[in-house]
Amino acid sequence: MTASHYEGLIEMLDAPEKEPGRLIPWIRGFDPDVIEFSLACVPDWVPSEYREFFNSYVAFEFEYGEWFAPNQPPSDPSSVQAGYSSLREAAEAFGADPDAWFPVGMFDGDDYVAYHRKDDGAIEFGRYHFLDREFLDGPYPSMAEWMQTYGVEL
């Protein structure tokens, strides 16, 4: 075996397998006023794909993670507002700019699935660990492309 063959095997071993994700549609429809209230905290720079997601779906299920849903009351830890507040605290605690991040879900207290606005204004998306200050999955150009890695097309 050649050195490049071994490198390829190592890369394959390092790549974690993802369980397929699942889009969760609204069961009883949704109240546009509730969605508008829940998404009022979303910064203007977050791409429209995020807001538009909720026209059809309430959540995205992904292995070991929790999606922040707009149908939860703000006091619920799985609400959009609580998730944003939690991410801001984590970003500040580890020296990141809290205004440059917006979460859609989380894995644990320092590990979020989020949009990130870079210094040049470009947006990236992925699973980011604030303690280690690195993407654990990504970055991707969009939430939709991240979902594709779970076998889901928006």
Residue 78 covered by a domain: yes
Residue 94 covered by a domain: yes
pLDDT digits (tens, 9 = 90+) for 104-120: 999 976 899 999 999 99
Domain range for 86 is 19-148
Residue 5 covered by a domain: no
Helix (H, G, I), strand (E, B) or coil at 115: strand
Residue 5: which pLDDT band, with cuts at 50, 70 and 90? very low
pTM, entire model: 0.86
- The tokens for 33 are 């006023």
Residue 7 covered by a domain: no
Which CATH number characterizes residue 28's domain?
3.40.1580
Residue 51 covered by a domain: yes
* Number of domains comprising the chain: 1
Residue 66 covered by a domain: yes
Residue 4 covered by a domain: no
Residue 10 covered by a domain: no
pLDDT digits (tens, 9 = 90+) for 117-148: 999 999 999 999 999 999 999 999 999 999 99
